[in-house]
Structure 1
């Protein structure tokens, strides 16, 4: 099957706040990051097509982004430890400094 992503993902486990309003009201963790988006591990998912405001923390600094939910998976509570819960977000606006962090991680 062909890869749907436009850029390579890198492991990126950092605190992320997200939600349809600003400031974002939900908190969880990013799993990976790419130049075009982020994967968030969370039990609070939004429908694909939903616009989200996102703040990603890295080294104590907040990076503000906006994006659209591309996919969302929510498992029943009894299966949370065994099934991937979360959302894939495609950036529509992204802090350029976050892209620089991504590029640095790509090189390492």
Structure 2
């Protein structure tokens, strides 16, 4: 599959909470980028859904953002750790709090080999 993104992704596992009204479901990222992230979860939302995300950065206050589900892939819960990309691809639509911290974090990831 040809990569369509103009900005690269960085593999990083971060704890987060997400939900359509309030961020209440626990999940983890698999990768992050300046414009989006991948949430590894079995609790999927359909493409086009706006979700609220509370993202835990290392040694920092949480980042609150809104994102749109661009795609999702459902797999049985017992094999989620075996299947690549089981979860949701999220496009960041707006930051509610912590945009500067998130941008600095992404820049640091990209500089680290």
Deviation at 1:104, TM superposition (A): 1.0
Q: How many residues align?
A: 107
What are the superposed Cα offsets for residues 85-105 of structure 1, whole Å, 9 maximum, x if unpaired?
A: 210100001323201100111
The structure-2 alpha-carbon separation of the partners of 1:77 and 1:31, relative to structure 1 and needing over 3 Å to count, comes to closer
Which aligned runs of 4 or more in structure 1 are off by greater than 4 angstroms? Answer: none
Partner of 1:47: 46
Q: Which runs of 5+ in 2 are unaligned?
A: none
Deviation at 1:60, TM superposition (A): 4.6
The answer as to whether partners of 1:6 and 1:36 remain within 8 angstroms in 2 is: no
The structure-2 alpha-carbon separation of the partners of 1:63 and 1:77, relative to structure 1 and needing over 3 Å to count, comes to closer
Q: Tell me how large the CA RMSD over aligned residues is.
A: 1.5
Q: TM-score, normalized by length of structure 1?
A: 0.89
The structure-2 alpha-carbon separation of the partners of 1:60 and 1:6, relative to structure 1 and needing over 3 Å to count, comes to same
